[in-house]
Amino acid sequence: MSDKRYPAATIAADAPANALIQQRAIAVLGALFGLFLIFGVGFAHPEAIHNAAHDSRHAFAFPCH
């Protein structure tokens, strides 16, 4: 038997694991961005930022006053 390695086969075998890691990373970054939007804009002091998100916050029962 020969002990040859086939890099293409190794990469193909690792592809599902890499795709799962990428999907989780995207989901975590999206969640962090969403939390920033809710809390960063929700409790912002500048009136322009506050008023830009005012109606949508009240639609989701998010307090701002």
For the chain, the domains span 9-59
How far is the CA of 41 from the CAs of 23, 34, 47, 55, 65, in angstroms? 26, 10, 10, 12, 13
Q: Which of 28, 32, 50 is nearest to 41 (CA)?
A: 50
pTM value? 0.49
Tokens of 25: 């990373």
Tokens of 14: 């690792």
Nearest-angstrom CA–CA distance, 34 and 26 = 12
Tell me the pLDDT tens digit for each residue of 14-48. Answer: 667 788 889 999 999 999 998 888 787 777 777 77
27, 48 Cβ separation under 8 angstroms:
no
